[in-house]
Amino acid sequence: MATIQVLTDILSGGYEPILNYYNANKSDKWNPLRQLEVAEGGFEIELNAEELKRQVKWTTDRNDEVKQLRWNHGRLSSCGYTGFNEKETELLFKALQHSLGEDNVILLDENTYINKTYINIYKEL
């Protein structure tokens, strides 16, 4: 699964431009993206009815009712919770690029850098 890394310390404009871009471009069948209200920050999407059925319901923890990505050293990580699927991650990546600039966001797939701009910079080092 791909990981998003942001190369800036601050989300210029905050979460709103990212949420607006994502929600304007998502499938009508998807639940909306929201800001994750935890100390480290991040993004969340409520699980749909089908996804909730697959969850083990032995707990009342709200974390089990949402997909989430939390900030962790400049990267967005599920931190052991249910993360986003590939299409949701790709759209969030595009939303972050739209808001922060293409050169400030990279998509990492295990050990491979997918963002061509970053690959070119890396090769020059």
Per-residue confidence (pLDDT) for residue 53, from 0 to 100: 73
pTM of the model: 0.83
Q: Could you tell me if residue 46 is left (phi over 0), alpha (psi between -120 and 50 degrees) or otherwise beta? A: beta
Q: 115 pLDDT exceeds 80?
A: no
- Whether 86 has a pLDDT exceeding 80, the answer reads yes
Distance of CA 104 to the CA centre of its chain: 14
Count of domains for the chain: 1
How is 80-102 classified by DSSP, letter by letter?
TS----HHHHHHHHHHHHHHH-G
**Residue 32: DSSP 8-state:** P
Q: Predicted confidence band at 6 (pLDDT cuts at 50, 70, 90)?
A: very high
- Per-residue pLDDT tens digits for 19-61: 999 999 999 999 999 999 999 999 999 998 888 777 666 666 7
Backbone angles phi, psi at 18, to 5 degrees: -70, -50
Residue 45 belongs to domain spanning: 2-124
Q: 44 has which bridge partners?
A: 34, 68
CB within 8 A of 39, min separation 6: which ones? none
